[in-house]
Structure 1
Amino acid sequence: MASKLTKSEHVIQSIKNYIASGEWPMGSKIPSQRKLAEMFSVNRSTIVAALEELKKEGLIEGVMGKGTIVVNNTWALLAASPPSDVDKQAAFTPPKPPSAPAVEIEEKKKPEKFIDLGKGELAQDIFPVDNMQQVMMRLAESLEPFGYEQPKGYLPLREAISGYMKKQGTDVSPDSILIVSGALQGLQLIAAGLLHRGSSVLLEQPSYLYSLQVFQSAGMSLSGLPIDEEGLKTDALAKKKASGPSSILYTIPCFHNPTGTLMSEDRRKELLSICQEKRLPIIEDDIFRELWLDAPPPPTLQSLDESGRVLYIGSFSKTLTPGLRIGWIAGPEQVIDKLAEIKMQTDYGSSSLSQLVAAEWISSGLYENHLSFIREELKKRRAAAIDALNKYMSDLAEWDVPTGGFFMWLRLKNGVRIHDLYERAYQAGVILNPGSIYTNQSVPALRLSYGYATTEDFEEGIEKLRTIILESLNE
């Protein structure tokens, strides 16, 4: 039988657990010796011995005039020295929508319908109308006057999300969760509240972030990193030198937007190891996680992280409905407190009704049932999309079959001008998302979505796309 821990060893292990979970993030002041003694029911000499050992291990250090500080979490340092008010205002400049070439069509020549092959949301016929009506009716029976929610959001919703994330393997407390009005607001809050002008945001290239101006408008630069079939290439990350006052990493590890790539578990561990070495904070944008089609994805970066280095962003926009406008940020409590403060200054909290609806969906079990339905629908749509591409595009383009989400990255083989392709397709009634939106440079690629158009419309759109490409090449 293993021997029991001594009192000092118990204190050391407990403090390590607080630090590893992110509850005591880097830069935070730990409780006084007297409070620690009360917390663990030991005398102060035991606490002194434990703290000395933790100092030797490099987990904490004494700072003149500040007390004993945790020294292994970078987000808390950023929260402790937020940008100026001027920077905050810049960070909240509304992002412009992705620009597309202006196309003029005579009224009499306009197509009877448009087929959108790039839309970043699920089709309306996948929307759970009946279940949503049931949820709204149940809530109406017990509805009370709405007031402003707590700064971090409706507590039952945060509790429900906490429980849901624990089922996924990510242990995070309700106090470490902030409800936001969609993932985009989460990015805005981080840019406004934690990052300074001149900072560098490292990210996959291509990436969804290139289509936004959240970070650029806050005076930060985007620095692209290559990806392969396992996700962001960590060798390129390892060679990357920091620039500006600080750098962070933004990544979409699950069914990446726009390529659909799923980051492997080994790659996730490599990424965390490099970020630990470089003291690089991470934003994990995981809004597509539950849209797996073949097998559940690897553990979240946040669950694999032992230093509170990851801020996790989740959302119901891609799985339930974008109109609900409910997402969340999970991270070290001290950092979440700071972001909650900024959110309250911005909008006094997300919609109370939307938060009630989201909480009911999760707690009732309807959400998990709905996800099962969505996965089956997306499997059918993915199969139909692959059939259409094999039929019409096998000699003109290359693509990888995604294992989840609803995006595919179509790489054209021949020298077709994407700008001309977009215009001609639009005139033919097909809306495309050119790759330049996601790379900040011209690339012979398109982001296709099989989650929005019907299977029949998707095939019709791809057939038209083939005709347009061939006509262009023959000119």
Structure 2
Amino acid sequence: MWKIPKTTEYPIYQQIIALIEIHIQDGHLLPGDKLPPERDLAALLGVNRSTLVHALDELSTRGIVTRKQGSGTRISEDKWGVFTGRKTNWRHYVSQGAFLQATPYLDKMKLLRSKAPDAVIDVASGELPVDLLPEITTPALSWQTFLSEESSEDVAGYKPLRATIQEMVAQNYHVTTNLDQIFITSGAQQALFLITQCLLTSGDAIAMEAPSYFYALSLFQSAGLRIYALPMDHEGVKLAELEQLYRKHRIKMVFVNPTFQNPTSLTMSAKRRQEFVALCSKIQVPIVEDDPYSLLTFDESEPPELLKKLDPDNVLYIGSLSKLMGSTTRIGWLIGPAAVVTRLAEARQEMDFGLSIFPQVLANHVLSDAAFGTHIGWLRKKLQQRRDALIKHLPESLQYDVPQGGFHLWCRLPQKDWKTRDFDIFLEQQLLVMPAFLFGIQESAIRLTFAKLDEADAPVVGERLRGILEDE
């Protein structure tokens, strides 16, 4: 396993790097595995220790290994800072190709769902369940009517829907936009995909909140981007850390979910929002604001000001209907400068990723219906009831902040030293949760999603959690 050819074509330290990368790609070295001590590994490879250290330093810089004094060198368990855009060898395409494979933990969850669907309780899925979908009738439109509506569509989407979104954003958030600044997409992820493909270049560095559901999306690394963790406190992203990341890695764009953030349900404070957009404007780093949950607030107060309102020119705003009407409603929108909208729309057309007229017409009907506002109010109440039912039965040893909106409850576990493999105990107890490592941080925490939780299952969730934590 530890043999290198020692050719004259490449320096020996580069051959060591290539050898370790191959072992990772072939599965001989897994995330978290510890390498032999430096002195022993140098002897196995037949090289000087200084040559080995040079190679390990390079691997550490790339984020492929982690090195801690007293703990040795391990294969990295995360992907912060890792740049995959340069991998073009055919041999690696299946394992390192355009869209990375799911993590083993997610694969185990999927298998458990299929094997024991009736025994499993799912507090991991972030989708809106069928019983919370809106009861809004669809219009009786003929095929000819749908086809005639195509005359109202251009590369940026169905014009009546764009006008409806324009009005909705003005009414709910007091943000004024022009139609040429609104771009209809088939969900938020298509907007993110087009941003990564069209506005960024392979090798660019971006920052995103840590923890963040963005981290779980393969599209960032698939675009060859290097992603860096932007730590948060109780008010939101830490500005000093953002400026340091910019100075060190030349961050090109920042991705945030500032309202009822996924997974923490944290809402960035008004003061931090002002400071955040001011700093990004100062260092000339654009902001991508993803906003799926802001309408799902549990009190009567207005949603906080959008970053888009605070700095219209420097923020790309993404909204969608999936958290309001279900994941099958593949309608989202991006609001940005007209030049950006045109670029993304033309790129989508070139990629032949056109958006069907049917969901756009139906979405416009739903958003224009007075019953939609009634549905949002009802949905807020149902989600709050499910949040309360879950919290009522949780073990006292869990620590959490009560979310004031959205879908998720971020729980800190009482034990402080959970490793990635330790979270398998939740699967063994047939309880599906989202561990912290899936969101890019190695902490003893889990995300519980109450949107799909049947209130009758809440006591069972509490019982299983209590059994897991008491066994530790």
Corresponding letter in the other structure for 1:275 = C
Corresponding letter in the other structure for 2:396 = S
The match for 1:434 is 435
Q: Which runs of 5+ in 1 are unaligned?
A: 1-82
Mean Cα deviation higher: 326-335 or 376-385: 376-385
Q: Which runs of 5+ in 2 are unaligned?
A: 1-84
Q: Are 1:180 and 2:185 matched, yes or no?
A: yes
- CA distance in 1 between partners of 2:214 and 2:106 (Å): 20
Shift, 1:447, TM fit: 0.8
Shift, 1:344, TM fit: 1.1
- CA distance in 1 between partners of 2:421 and 2:457 (Å): 22
Secondary structure of 2:396 counterpart? coil
Secondary structure of 1:343 counterpart? helix
The match for 1:115 is 121
The match for 1:247 is 252
The match for 1:375 is 380
* TM-score between both structures, scaled by the size of structure 2: 0.74
- CA distance in 2 between partners of 1:219 and 1:106 (Å): 32
Relative contact order, CA 8 A, sep 6+: which one is greater? 1
From 286, 300, 303, the counterpart of 1:281 = 286
Distance 1:180-1:98 versus aligned 2 partners, 3 A rule: farther
Corresponding letter in the other structure for 1:123 = P
- 1:185-215 CA-to-partner distances (Å, cap 9, x unmatched) read 1000000001012211111100111101111
- 1:423-460 CA-to-partner distances (Å, cap 9, x unmatched) read 33223321111111101x43211111011121221331
Contact 1:122-1:451 at 8 Å conserved across structures: yes
From 160, 170, 195, the counterpart of 1:166 = 170
- CA distance in 1 between partners of 2:245 and 2:424 (Å): 37
Q: Are 1:144 and 2:149 matched, yes or no?
A: no
The match for 1:231 is 236
- CA distance in 2 between partners of 1:111 and 1:321 (Å): 21
Distance 1:99-1:311 versus aligned 2 partners, 3 A rule: farther
- CA distance in 1 between partners of 2:327 and 2:465 (Å): 28
From 285, 304, 308, the counterpart of 1:302 = 308
Mean Cα deviation higher: 98-107 or 315-324: 98-107
Shift, 1:235, TM fit: 2.8
Distance 1:409-1:151 versus aligned 2 partners, 3 A rule: same
- CA distance in 2 between partners of 1:142 and 1:291 (Å): 37
- CA distance in 2 between partners of 1:150 and 1:98 (Å): 39
Contact 2:112-2:430 at 8 Å conserved across structures: no
- CA distance in 2 between partners of 1:352 and 1:401 (Å): 40
Contact 1:421-1:469 at 8 Å conserved across structures: no
- 1:280-318 CA-to-partner distances (Å, cap 9, x unmatched) read 100001111111112332110011115x00000000011
Secondary structure of 1:458 counterpart? helix
- CA distance in 2 between partners of 1:94 and 1:369 (Å): 39
The match for 2:205 is 200
Secondary structure of 1:119 counterpart? coil
Q: Are 1:353 and 2:355 matched, yes or no?
A: no
Shift, 1:95, TM fit: 5.9
Taking only aligned residues, the RMSD between alpha carbons, in angstroms, comes to 2.8
- CA distance in 1 between partners of 2:108 and 2:143 (Å): 50
- CA distance in 2 between partners of 1:350 and 1:95 (Å): 25
Shift, 1:94, TM fit: 4.0
- 1:356-415 CA-to-partner distances (Å, cap 9, x unmatched) read 1110111122322211111111111111122122xxx212x2111111101111111214
- CA distance in 2 between partners of 1:208 and 1:249 (Å): 14
From 304, 315, 319, the counterpart of 1:314 = 319
Distance 1:103-1:207 versus aligned 2 partners, 3 A rule: closer
From 213, 218, 222, the counterpart of 1:217 = 222
Distance 1:349-1:463 versus aligned 2 partners, 3 A rule: same
Secondary structure of 1:368 counterpart? helix
Contact 1:175-1:333 at 8 Å conserved across structures: yes
From 153, 156, 159, the counterpart of 2:160 = 156
The match for 1:331 is 336
The match for 1:444 is 444
Corresponding letter in the other structure for 1:466 = R
Corresponding letter in the other structure for 1:273 = A
Aligned residues: 374
Q: Matched residues, percent identical? A: 32
* TM-score between both structures, scaled by the size of structure 1: 0.73
Q: How does 1:26-37 map to 2 (within 5 A)?
A: none
Distance 1:96-1:303 versus aligned 2 partners, 3 A rule: farther
Shift, 1:219, TM fit: 1.4
Corresponding letter in the other structure for 2:295 = E
Shift, 1:170, TM fit: 1.1
- 1:105-153 CA-to-partner distances (Å, cap 9, x unmatched) read 999x95742111111112221112x31xx12x43459833375941000
Distance 1:352-1:406 versus aligned 2 partners, 3 A rule: same
